[in-house]
Amino acid sequence: MSVERWERRSEVPLLLLALAFLVAYAWPVLDPRIDPTLATFLDYISWTVWAAFAIDFAVRLALARDRGNYAVRHWYDVALIVLPVLRPLRLLRLLAFVRILNRSAVGNLAGRVTTYVIGAAVMAVGLGAVAALDAEQDAPNANITTIGDALWWAATTVTTVGYGDRYPVTTTGRVIAVMLMVVGIALVGAITASIAAWFVSSLEDDKRNAREAQASQEEQ
């Protein structure tokens, strides 16, 4: 079996596991007064998902022809497996959504970029807010203590506006902020490139139509 075939077969199960992990991770963050028994159950789900993703990566690595190169190209899979104690980094498991996003994106460049930009923006703001709230809400002198604060901060950060009324005070929160800044810059670049590509494509289409019209007139 090839890596591509395994990825196609495991795509939907991994997506469902990623959704289960999102619930298990976000619930205790959004509701700190959650019942301890339920919190323990959700923690078990989180570690079960970690084990499933570890097994999936081990299988893909075993099927790969050049295992070293495959591991380098899928560094984020390595990170989520070897750094499970860093809670916000566990959200890397939700990159399983990218596989679905890649298959659902329309064929032309502008359409694919638009799909990626919308998907990346929604994921960055939503997941960044949850991760930041997890890191910040119990820290001394924290000013990101509610999901509303976290969403506002994530939105202003990913759009590179940065009002400064909300900001992280922990090291983990600042790492998340840097990641969101990088994502925001990348999104701006992707939008600019998409618009430029659309203009170039439109210009080429106009030139081609003009040449075809001129050739048709000369034939007549």
Q: What is the pLDDT of residue 197?
A: 72
CA distances from 165 to 115, 142, 149, 153, 156 (A): 31, 12, 10, 8, 10
Q: What is the pLDDT of residue 136?
A: 87
Q: What is the pLDDT of residue 57?
A: 85
Q: What is the pLDDT of residue 116?
A: 67
In the chain, where do the E strands start and end? Answer: none
Q: Do the beta carbons of residue 7 and residue 60 sit within 8 Å?
A: yes
Measured in whole angstroms, the distance separating CA 11 from the mean position of its chain's CA atoms is 16
d(CA 81, CA 59): 13
Phi, psi of 185 (to 5 degrees): -65, -40
**Which SS3 state, helix, strand or coil, does residue 163 take?**
coil
Q: What is the pLDDT of residue 152?
A: 92
- For 94-133, the DSSP string reads GGHHHHHHHHHS-SSHHHHHHHHHHHHHHHHHHHHHHHHH
pLDDT tens series, the chain, 220 aa: 777 788 778 777 877 887 888 888 888 888 878 888 888 898 888 888 888 888 888 888 888 888 888 888 877 777 777 765 555 555 555 555 555 555 444 455 555 666 667 777 787 888 888 888 888 888 888 888 888 899 999 988 888 787 888 889 988 888 888 888 888 887 777 777 777 777 777 777 777 777 777 777 766 6
Q: What is the pLDDT of residue 196?
A: 75
Q: What is the pLDDT of residue 114?
A: 65
Tokens 């009324």 belong to: 165
Contacts of 111 (CB under 8 A, 6+ apart): 105
Q: The whole model's pTM is what? A: 0.64
